[in-house]
Amino acid sequence: MSMYVVGHKIPDSDSICGAIALAYLKNQIDEPAIPTRLGEVSPETQFILDKFGFEAPELKLSYAGEDVYIVDHTEKTQAPDDIDQARVVGVVDHHKLGDLTSSTPLECWIRPVGCSNTIIKMMYDFYNVEIPKDIAGIMLCAILSDTVIFKSPTCTTADIKCVEALAKIAGIEDFKELGMDMF
């Protein structure tokens, strides 16, 4: 049985790119996963997907009876409307701990960094999974977006180091220029 990886309602680049990057990682470690989304893709996110050759994840609004891995939040109001009928199997987040609960033990990756994709990069390192060039590109862009190219007060050294490492993998020489193009 596959799990669905989904971000929050009114998804931003971190939610969409995080769902794609995390689903890829999970599939590499024999945990079948499908990236999905809860809303329309923003122009910024569409730019990122187009640049690195990705389709937007499937729009899926109902998760009752499904295994769900949540990205970029832990808030019931941001989750699928039927989240109480789903089984939350994991969370990756960089915000405050919200009110999502689970009926079974779950995998939790919560860190005080500027972007969920920074944490997902740490997960790739933890599981010793190589990040493909295109996935590195979308992760890099998500971090640049959430940290406003490192100008956000939530930006950390970890975010900067992850962007530098992901830029090497993606073959991006000037990630600040890419960030400006994206915005």
Give residue 86's pLDDT.
Answer: 97
Domain of residue 148 covers 3-182
Give residue 183's pLDDT.
Answer: 87
Q: Is the pLDDT of residue 1 over 90?
A: no
Written as one string, the DSSP assignment of 142-164 is: HHHHHTTTTTSTT--HHHHHHHH
Nearest-angstrom CA–CA distance, 15 and 2: 19
Residue with tokens 């915000």: 95
Query: What phi and psi values does residue 159 have, to the nearest 5 degrees?
Result: -60, -45
Question: What is the tally of structural domains in the chain?
Answer: 1
Q: What confidence tens digit (pLDDT) does each residue in 3-62 have?
A: 999 999 999 999 999 999 999 999 999 999 999 999 999 999 999 999 999 999 999 999
Whether 94 contacts 114, CB under 8 Å = yes
C-alpha distances out from residue 144 to 4, 28, 29, Å: 25, 25, 27
pTM equals 0.97
Structure token digits, residue 141? 């862009």
Give residue 37's pLDDT.
Answer: 98
Q: What confidence tens digit (pLDDT) does each residue in 94-140 have?
A: 999 999 999 899 999 999 999 999 999 999 999 999 999 999 999 99
Residues whose CB falls within 8 Å of the CB of residue 152, separated by 6 or more in sequence, listed in order: 114, 146
Q: Output the domain CATH number for residue 64.
A: 3.90.1640.10
